[in-house]
Amino acid sequence: MLAAVCLGQFLIQLDLTVVNVALPGIGRDLGAPVSGLQWVADGYNLTVASLLLLGGRIGDRAGHKRTYLAGLVIFGLGSGLCAAAPGVGWLIGFRVLQGVGAAVELPATLAILTHTFTEPRERAQAVGIWAGAAGISLIIGPVLGGGLIAAFGWRAVFLVNLPVTAMIAVLTILVVTSAAGTGAGGLDMPGQLAGAAALALLAAGAIEGGRQGFASTLALGLLAGGVAGLAVFVTVERRRTNPMLPLGYFRRPAYSAANAAGLVMGFVTIGLLFLFALFFQQVQGDSAIAAGLRFLPLTVAFVLTGPVVGRMTGRAGHRTPMAVGGLLLGLGVVLLLRVGAGSGYGLVWWPFAIIGVGYGLLSTPMAAAVLGAVPRERTGMASSTNLTARLIGGVFGIAVLGALLPNTSTRGGHAYAAAFTTGLHSALVVAGIVAFTGAALTTSLIRDKQA
């Protein structure tokens, strides 16, 4: 059972890292500027973030095994269509379909774990293994993606999902058992629509701000619409008797702090993956596989840290590893400010390793804290909320940090390298501020030994 759900987590994270490495090739083949590449990444991330709460609710109602299998099927279909996309607009649309599948699938993974492993220490260890599966995909993804691109082109990074999806579906049918859905509660479509619209408008405003300037009429209008959408979402959720996102849980310090940490972690790590996938290939001239190998210190550090922290969390609590993890994220980002267009890899690998350790220290106790803060019957909602927080962070990491890069489909030359490096440094300053702010929030809101 553990293998089946961890493989699903592996698949989703694999797709994230594989596609990051493929972005420069997609840009060259389809003539996409940086803003187009932002939407290739964020079309997927935004859809997952917008629908995860709905996916968790569907799992709670219909049963997590059935929901997990449905998500796998949709994700596989989207992957096949992405591989056949004739243009960047089509590719973005099919990435959205992939995101629908991932949003249905991901909440079910943690919910199945929670229903299976009921003892707190055992559950923490299982969550650590689940987080480690994501880390393994982060190691394999960039290297596998680079190799596939070198041999077959960028479309192969989507085709590789098809046999993996089929294997996971068969394994799930054979070995996974989970509690049946309760069938209780509505799907809260008004809240779903308001939340999705707010996220889409805010992300679009950030991306268009980078393309046209944040003072432009379009960017300001999109951002204002997003803020209004958030206000509508909060109003709708407060008035519903069975809301998609029960706001009352945010009065619990551990729940609020863990979800805030998810926002920070997603913003920093997913944003950095986007930035440096472009930097290594478009500025430093690396091949796709060489660029993928450069991410190994970050991903290996995360993989080695996650399971160890999972074993510690049941005894030591959540506050210390989460606070230290946030500080290490910020430290690693600040150290990357020394990187320039002509810098050697010696200035990159060890800050990446520090960021990976910070990521590992945050990930496992954050997930355990969220699950421990709600009744067992609301685990689908809780897991989807935390995964939503991570992905919302990633959406705005790509949108905000990417908006600071030069937006052109023409690459190469000293002028482009200089402009890209300037934008990269500005983005790193923003990411560092976000990371240190997250560490401060964790320290103030979570108490040691708090479950």
Query: pLDDT digits over 249-279, tens only?
Result: 888 888 888 899 999 999 999 999 999 999 9
The C-alpha atoms of residue 65 and residue 133 are separated, in whole angstroms, by: 19
Report the C-alpha gap between 40 and 361 in whole angstroms. 29
Range of lowest pLDDT (111-120, 182-191, 346-355)? 182-191
Backbone dihedral angles phi then psi of residue 91, each to the nearest 5 degrees:
-60, -45
Residue 29 scores a pLDDT above 60: yes
Averaged pLDDT for residues 335-355: 95
Mean pLDDT, the chain, integer = 85
**Three state DSSP letters for the chain:** CHHHHHHHHHHHHHHHHHHHHHHHHHHHHHCCCHHHHHHHHHHHHHHHHHHHHHHHHHHHHHCHHHHHHHHHHHHHHHHHHHHCCCCHHHHHHHHHHHHHHHHHHHHHHHHHHHHHCCCHHHHHHHHHHHHHHHHHHHHHHHHHHHHHHHHHCCCHHHHCHHHHHHHHHHHHHHHCCCCCCCCCCCCCHHHHHHHHHHHHHHHHHHHHHHHHCCCCHHHHHHHHHHHHHHHHHHHHHHHCCCCCCCHHHHHCHHHHHHHHHHHHHHHHHHHHHHHHHHHHHHHCCCCHHHHHHHCHHHHHHHHHHHHHHHHHHHHHCCHHHHHHHHHHHHHHHHHHHHCCCCCCHHHCHHHHHHHHHHHHHHHHHHHHHHHHCCCHHHHHHHHHHHHHHHHHHHHHHHHHHHCCCCCCCCCCCHHHHHHHHHHHHHHHHHHHHHHHHHHHHHHHHCCCCCC
Name the more confident of 167 and 112: 167
What pLDDT shows up at residue 451? Answer: 40
Q: How far apart are CA 93 and CA 2, in angstroms?
A: 32
Contact 280, 294 (CB under 8 A): yes
How buried is 75 (Cβ within 10 angstroms: 0-12 exposed, 13-18 middle, 19+ buried)? buried
Instruction: Give me 302's structure tokens.
Output: 């995360």
pLDDT for 339 equals: 95
Higher pLDDT, 9 or 340: 340
- 439, with CB counted inside 10 A (0-12, 13-18, 19+), is buried
**pLDDT for res 315:** 65
Q: Please compute the mean of the pLDDT values over residues 211-228 and round it to a whole number.
A: 88
Supply the pLDDT for residue 221.
93
Query: 351-367 burial string, b = 16+ CB within 10 Å, else e?
Result: bbbbbbbbbbbbbbbbb
Q: What is the mean pLDDT of the segment spanning 160-173?
A: 90
Cβ partners under 8 Å of residue 323, min gap 6:
439, 442, 443, 446
* Percent of the chain predicted with pLDDT > 90: 32
Average pLDDT over residues 180-201: 75
Tell me, yes or no, if the pTM score tops 0.95.
Answer: no
Q: Which residue has the higher pLDDT, 128 or 175?
A: 175
Q: Is the pLDDT of residue 450 over 50?
A: no
pLDDT in tens, 379-397: 667 777 887 788 889 888 9
Return the higher-pLDDT residue of 212 and 294.
Answer: 294
As a whole number of angstroms, the distance between CA 237 and CA 320 comes to: 33
The confidence band for 85, taking pLDDT boundaries of 50, 70 and 90, is: very high
Contact 113, 2 (CB under 8 A): yes
d(CA 251, CA 256): 7
What is d(CA 174, CA 153) in angstroms, rounded to the nearest whole number?
A: 35
Work out the pLDDT band at 184, boundaries 50, 70, 90.
Answer: low
Indicate the residue type of 356. G
Q: Place 329 in a pLDDT band, splitting at 50, 70 and 90.
A: very high
| pLDDT tens by residue, 36-70 | 898 898 888 888 888 877 787 788 778 888 889 99
- Report the pLDDT averaged over residues 427-449: 86
Residue 97 has pLDDT above 90, yes or no: yes
Q: 106-138: string of b/e by CB count within 10 Å (b at 16+)?
A: bbbbbbbbbbbbeeeeebbbbbbbbbbbbbbbb
Residues 6+ apart with CB under 8 A from 302: 135, 138, 356, 357, 359, 360, 363
The tally of CA atoms less than 13 A away on the side-chain side of residue 53 is 26
- Cα–Cα dist 79/139, whole Å: 20
